[in-house]
């Protein structure tokens, strides 16, 4: 059973199906795993989340095709469509994953992109602790993918799990996880989405006949759909003055930058100038163990919020000054000689250490008979304080690395940022540390740099053996998905 | 009433009382506050703790004189003696402070040092939130100190509270808090204790006729009393191989170094080569808001420990690998390409984020009917994880600063370190980050750098007007306290 939407999509893309199918078919012969209907996938297996990029050839409906244009990607709708065979074909694994994998609270769905060859890229994720279930789903696939010569099929992968879970994949599925270096994959993927952003701005400019965006960070926001919407821009910055997320057209795409990847932990990667071949030089210059999983781990311990999104939403309205010790709490105002404003945090969680029973209101008796009332601590304030602690610290380490390497552009990635509050805190902290000299930029596909990069690196390696390389958006060989 | 011990001390030091008294008397005339019996004090008012250094002239028994030689400084004993007029004289303020100030859990008493002019330096502290009580005690002093010309008396002070509490001191006591720059005071105080350490090693060498210590960090440990005991050495390092604190004779005292002051927050200060006059160049090159009060604040929220010491003791036996996500949890082993061993923390608190009810054991049902048991989280493990998070982060920021400024010696100060566990974590983290190139050194008077420095800076300024400057230990003009 193929639903009406699927038929429509298949029809509109059908004219290209054969060409791409032919090009991708050779991948199977060379040993790269190809799923029913010709899709290929790539995995980024992190400590907390596993991210998938699925490349579907033209003619195969993707999860996004079943959601309504312009509205946020609707997981429930996609699952329903998957149940009726409407997603990725009746035996497609995207549909199976949507239908059967436990979805973590605050599941983050990402939009597809054109793959530049008439097909599409879709982005999925699940919690790494459900890897057993994921492997079970793959094992049930029908027809089960086979290497034509009986050899091992390979799945492009990165992240620590590309090593940790390799024995499990081999044993249960007979698949080889083909690891790409994580830092290389992250940088490569980031550059891909950066190119997609530049390509999109150029297309808009060509369509309107006038320059789009200004590269100034705040202008151009009204010319494009709102950021973070399904049709929003790929890159954006946070406008502290206007207190909003704004689309950003990078005036120098491909220039050297720092990539700060906030996953469970944090990696800080120096990424060199983009090469025409799409490759980049990569150096992991720093890292930090206070990361996304630190925020969520402490959130779980300190609050009753059940989902990450619930916690971050609470942080929007929380007041960190009730929890943290500010410079003004210690100095009574700013510390002018050091240029520390009074509202800067001097000690995260510094105020709660001086209270005895901070989780509930209580009255303490002093020796002279007077009493001291200790107010209870609010969960929203705690969550805000956690968010600020983690992001301030990341901004500081990132700034130190940027200064050390003479770089003034920092791109943030990882599956953590998600909301305006977090971008505001990071942007504000970076402005403080760098004196406004360093720009913080964010990307809609922030969580998928690694998985995208692993696919690109595998395609690059495979190109020599017949696997069609993925063209960089806007490069020679790039073709829009037909409408 | 003066107790027998006091009489003994007064008798043994009496021969010097007049000379010092004469020298110090001129300070009063110049406006520096002098307490009954000629003591002077200096305050370092931090966000959490206020630290006092009290300089008592010869002939006045100090708090330490009433404790038993060789045993840890006994607060209760000193309080009892203070009640009977045995400490600092019947109207001395050290006795009043000991008797009347609320003592925070884990109150840290420090030993006196000779002031090099026949008198003594004593070290006290209280929680800054009790400042009202402290001021009340001062207001009750009899005879109340008066400026001979009716002007304002000054108290040397530093820390944020030197500004924040200045109006309160003026209003309630008529005293002026005379602020010294905090970074300058910290560096100056650190150099003072460093000189005291070098002086002591030299004295021992002279007494034994053989070289003491080796500067290698581990040798020489058996030649001196155990570190952290009341008669222990001033400076020490942590021997990771032997898993113990060892005395350290700095082979290059006074050389440029980083001072990492861990108070409520963290300041990282580049301290230049010591000058013969005792002054130093000072540059606050970095800071960090994840500090001592962050550890204790989160400890209060996450555990039932009532005292800081109780929490740190629990951390000794806690297991961070149950709380944090290690490199091996993500990679299944080391991440060899980046040189990250498997037992390094990848994400602090990363493991608890994947559990739903980590504060109590619980059973979760999965969709297929199987169940998943989530064990409860142990408080000792949480405390250990907090300690490691805070100290690892400090070590990393300190290492970045050391590398940026080409410095290989880091001295840690502040009122936070206290136990071997903390020194071990810092030393180990610094070894990891620097590849063993940077040395971490600790000092017994770590909490009193600021207060000591403020007194030295005030004495230095006052020297021109008649206040006797404090000689650097071992310098010309230094005289041992008479035995």
Between B389 and A103, where is the model more confident? B389
**Residues near A168 by Cβ (< 8 Å), separated by ≥ 6?**
A131, A135
- Examine the pLDDT at B69 and tell me if it is beyond 70: no
Q: Do B294 and A377 touch (CB under 8 A)?
A: no
| Residues from chain B contacting residue A333 (CB–CB below 8 Å) | 163-164
β partners of residue A271: A257, A282
Which range, of A19-33, A162-176, A327-341, averages the lowest pLDDT? Answer: A19-33
What pLDDT shows up at residue A373?
60
Q: Do A300 and B159 touch (CB under 8 A)?
A: no
CA–chain centroid gap for A361, Å, is: 40
What value does the mean pLDDT take over residues B220-235?
54
| Residues from chain A contacting residue B290 (CB–CB below 8 Å) | 290, 348, 389, 393
CA A468/CA A116 separation, integer angstroms? 11
- Examine the pLDDT at A220 and tell me if it is beyond 70: no
Q: Which of A161, A300, A303, A353 to mutate to test the interface with B (most CBs of B within 10 A)?
A: A353
| Residues from chain A contacting residue B367 (CB–CB below 8 Å) | 102
Q: Which of A301, A325, A355 sits opposite B358 (nearest CB)?
A: A301
Nearest alpha carbon to residue A149 among A264, A15, A29: A29
- What ipTM score was computed for the predicted complex, to two decimals? 0.80
Q: Which of A102, A300, A348 sits opposite B294 (nearest CB)?
A: A348
CA A164/CA A333 separation, integer angstroms? 51
Q: Do B181 and A337 touch (CB under 8 A)?
A: yes
Q: Do B297 and A350 touch (CB under 8 A)?
A: yes
What pLDDT shows up at residue B339?
75
Token pair of A244, please? 């909003």
Q: Which of A47, A263, A330 sits opposite B161 (nearest CB)?
A: A330
What pLDDT shows up at residue A161?
93
| Residues from chain B contacting residue A289 (CB–CB below 8 Å) | 324, 344-348, 389, 392-393
Which range, of A85-94, A194-203, A418-427, B183-192, averages the lowest pLDDT? Answer: A85-94
What pLDDT shows up at residue B338?
73
Q: Which of A181, A263, A350 sits opposite B293 (nearest CB)?
A: A350
**Structural domains present in chain B:** 4-188+448-463 (3.30.420.510), 254-295+386-444 (3.30.420.40), 320-377 (no CATH)
Phi, psi (deg, nearest 5) at residue B355: -105, 150
Residues above pLDDT 70, as percent of chain A:
67
CA B176/CA B174 separation, integer angstroms? 7
Residue of A nearest to B133 (CA): A368
Q: Do B329 and A292 touch (CB under 8 A)?
A: no
| Residues from chain B contacting residue A294 (CB–CB below 8 Å) | 347-350, 389
Residue of B nearest to A300 (CA): B353
Confidence class of residue B171 from pLDDT cuts 50, 70 and 90? very high
What value does the mean pLDDT take over residues A238-260?
91
What pLDDT shows up at residue A211?
66
What pLDDT shows up at residue B212?
61
Contact A95, A88 (CB under 8 A): yes
| Residues from chain B contacting residue A301 (CB–CB below 8 Å) | 302, 349, 352, 358-359, 377, 382
Between A356 and A273, where is the model more confident? A273
Between A218 and B199, where is the model more confident? B199
Between B3 and B91, where is the model more confident? B91
Q: How many CB atoms lie within 10 A of CB A464?
A: 9
| Residues from chain B contacting residue A265 (CB–CB below 8 Å) | 325, 345-347, 350
Confidence class of residue A223 from pLDDT cuts 50, 70 and 90? very low
What pLDDT shows up at residue B100?
74
Tell me the three state secondary structure of residue A362.
Answer: strand
What pLDDT shows up at residue B261?
95
What pLDDT shows up at residue A165?
94
Between B99 and A408, where is the model more confident? A408
Each residue's pLDDT tens digit, B77-87: 666 666 665 66
Q: Which of B180, B347, B386 to mutate to test the interface with A (most CBs of A within 10 A)?
A: B347
Q: Which of A106, A301, A377, A386 to mutate to test the interface with B (most CBs of B within 10 A)?
A: A301
Residues above pLDDT 70, as percent of chain B:
67
Q: Do A327 and B160 touch (CB under 8 A)?
A: yes
- Examine the pLDDT at B295 and tell me if it is beyond 60: yes
Q: Do A350 and B102 touch (CB under 8 A)?
A: no
- Examine the pLDDT at B213 and tell me if it is beyond 80: no
Q: Which of B350, B357, B402, B434 to mutate to test the interface with A (most CBs of A within 10 A)?
A: B350
Q: How close, in Å, is residue A148 to chain B by CA atoms?
A: 31
Which range, of A473-482, B116-125, B151-160, averages the lowest pLDDT? Answer: A473-482
What value does the mean pLDDT take over residues A75-94?
62
Each residue's pLDDT tens digit, B237-251: 999 998 888 889 988
Long-range contacts of A99-103 (CB under 8 A, 24+ apart): A100/A133, A100/A137, A101/A126, A101/A130, A101/A133, A101/A134, A101/A137, A102/A126, A102/A127, A102/A130, A102/A133, A102/B366, A102/B367, A103/A75
| Residues from chain B contacting residue A351 (CB–CB below 8 Å) | 297
Q: How close, in Å, is residue B419 to chain A by CA atoms?
A: 19
Q: Do A265 and B347 touch (CB under 8 A)?
A: yes
What pLDDT shows up at residue A418?
67
Q: What are the CA-CA distances from residue B254 to residues B404, B411, B414 (Å)?
A: 20, 12, 19
Each residue's pLDDT tens digit, A353-396: 775 544 544 555 666 776 666 557 889 999 999 999 999 999 99
Nearest alpha carbon to residue B35 among B131, B133, B126, B156: B156
- Examine the pLDDT at A417 and tell me if it is beyond 60: yes
- Examine the pLDDT at B258 and tell me if it is beyond 90: yes
Q: How close, in Å, is residue B333 to chain A by CA atoms?
A: 8
In sequence order, what DSSP letters do the residues of B344-396 get, joined into one string?
SEEETTTTGGG-S-TTS-EEEE-TTS-EEEEPPPPHHHHHHHHHHHHHHHHHH
Q: Which of B102, B350, B352 sits opposite A47 (nearest CB)?
A: B350
Confidence class of residue B131 from pLDDT cuts 50, 70 and 90? very high
What value does the mean pLDDT take over residues A112-123?
76
Q: Do A350 and B324 touch (CB under 8 A)?
A: no
CA A261/CA A184 separation, integer angstroms? 12
What pLDDT shows up at residue B481?
56
What pLDDT shows up at residue A268?
96
CA A41/CA B269 separation, integer angstroms? 50
Between A412 and A243, where is the model more confident? A412
Place of tokens 């509490």: B165
| Residues from chain B contacting residue A332 (CB–CB below 8 Å) | 160, 163-165
β partners of residue A409: A439
Please, what is the angle between helix A449-463 and helix A182-208, to 10°?
Answer: 90
Nearest alpha carbon to residue B266 among B249, B283, B244, B289: B289
Q: Do B350 and A160 touch (CB under 8 A)?
A: no
Confidence class of residue B285 from pLDDT cuts 50, 70 and 90? very high
Residue of B nearest to A267 (CA): B346
CA–chain centroid gap for B346, Å, is: 30
Contact B339, A183 (CB under 8 A): no
Phi, psi (deg, nearest 5) at residue A64: -70, -25
| Residues from chain A contacting residue B288 (CB–CB below 8 Å) | 393, 396
Specify the pairing of strand A175-179 against strand A153-158.
parallel
Find which of A102-106, B301-305, B351-355 is predicted with most confidence, using mean pLDDT: B301-305
Q: Do A289 and B392 touch (CB under 8 A)?
A: yes
Confidence class of residue B45 from pLDDT cuts 50, 70 and 90? very high
Contact A288, B342 (CB under 8 A): no
What pLDDT shows up at residue B56?
75
Q: Do A264 and B290 touch (CB under 8 A)?
A: no
- Examine the pLDDT at A66 and tell me if it is beyond 80: no
Q: How close, in Å, is residue A112 to chain B by CA atoms?
A: 28
Which range, of B190-199, B201-210, B364-373, averages the lowest pLDDT? Answer: B364-373
Nearest 5 degrees, angle CA B392-CA B374-CA A352?
Answer: 45
CA A121/CA A55 separation, integer angstroms? 4
Specify the pairing of strand B266-271 against strand A40-45.
unpaired
Q: Do A294 and B47 touch (CB under 8 A)?
A: no
Mean pLDDT computed over every residue of chain B: 76
| Residues from chain A contacting residue B398 (CB–CB below 8 Å) | none
Q: Which of A46, A331, A353 sits opposite B163 (nearest CB)?
A: A331
Each residue's pLDDT tens digit, A156-188: 999 999 999 999 999 998 888 989 999 999 999
Q: Do A47 and B329 touch (CB under 8 A)?
A: yes
């Amino acid at each position: 059973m193929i639903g009406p939407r699927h038929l429509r999509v298949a029809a509109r893309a059908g004219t290209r199906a054969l060409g791409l199918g032919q090009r991708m078919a050779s991948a199977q012969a060379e040993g790269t795993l190809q799923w029913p209907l010709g899709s290929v996938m790539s995995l980024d297996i992190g400590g907390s989340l596993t991210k998938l990029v699925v490349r579907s050839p033209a003619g195969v409906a993707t999860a996004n095709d079943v959601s309504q244009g312009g509205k946020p990607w609707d997981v429930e709708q996609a699952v329903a469509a998957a149940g009726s065979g409407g997603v990725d074909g009746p035996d497609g694994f995207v549909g199976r994953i949507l239908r059967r994998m436990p979805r973590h609270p605050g599941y983050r769905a990402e939009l597809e992109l054109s793959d530049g060859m008439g097909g599409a890229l879709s982005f999925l994720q699940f919690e790494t602790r459900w890897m057993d279930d994921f492997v079970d789903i793959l094992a049930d696939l029908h027809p089960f993918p086979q290497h034509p010569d009986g050899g091992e099929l390979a799945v492009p992968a990165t992240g620590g799990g590309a090593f940790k879970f390799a024995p499990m994949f081999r044993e249960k599925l007979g698949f080889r996880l083909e690891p790409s270096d994580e830092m290389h994959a992250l940088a490569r993927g980031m550059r891909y989405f950066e190119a997609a952003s530049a390509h999109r701005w150029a297309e808009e400019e060509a369509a309107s006949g006038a320059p789009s965006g200004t590269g100034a960070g705040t202008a151009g926001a009204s010319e494009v759909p709102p950021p973070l919407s399904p049709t929003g821009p790929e890159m954006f910055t946070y406008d502290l003055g206007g207190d909003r997320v704004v689309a950003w057209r990078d005036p120098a795409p491909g220039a050297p930058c720092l990539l700060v990847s906030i996953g469970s932990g944090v990696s800080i990667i120096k990424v060199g100038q983009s090469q025409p071949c799409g490759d980049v030089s990569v150096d992991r210059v720093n890292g930090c163990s206070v990361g996304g999983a630190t925020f969520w781990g402490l959130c779980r311990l300190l609050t009753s919020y059940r989902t990450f999104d619930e916690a971050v939403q609470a942080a929007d309205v929380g007041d960190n000054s009730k929890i943290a010790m500010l410079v003004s709490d210690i100095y009574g105002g700013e510390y002018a000689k050091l240029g520390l404003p009074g509202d800067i945090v001097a000690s995260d969680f510094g105020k709660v250490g001086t209270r005895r029973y901070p989780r509930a209101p209580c009255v303490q008796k002093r020796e002279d008979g007077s009493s001291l009332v200790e107010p209870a601590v609010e969960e929203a304030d705690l969550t805000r304080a956690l968010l600020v602690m983690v992001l301030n610290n990341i901004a500081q380490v990132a700034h130190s690395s940027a200064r050390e390497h003479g770089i003034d552009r920092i791109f943030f990635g990882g599956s953590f940022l998600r909301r305006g509050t977090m971008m505001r805190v990071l942007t504000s902290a970076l402005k403080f540390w760098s004196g406004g000299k360093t720009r913080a930029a964010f990307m809609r596909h922030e969580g998928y740099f690694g998985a995208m990069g692993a696919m690109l690196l595998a395609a690059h390696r495979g190109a020599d053996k017949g696997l069609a390389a993925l063209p960089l958006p806007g490069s020679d060989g790039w073709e829009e998905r037909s409408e």
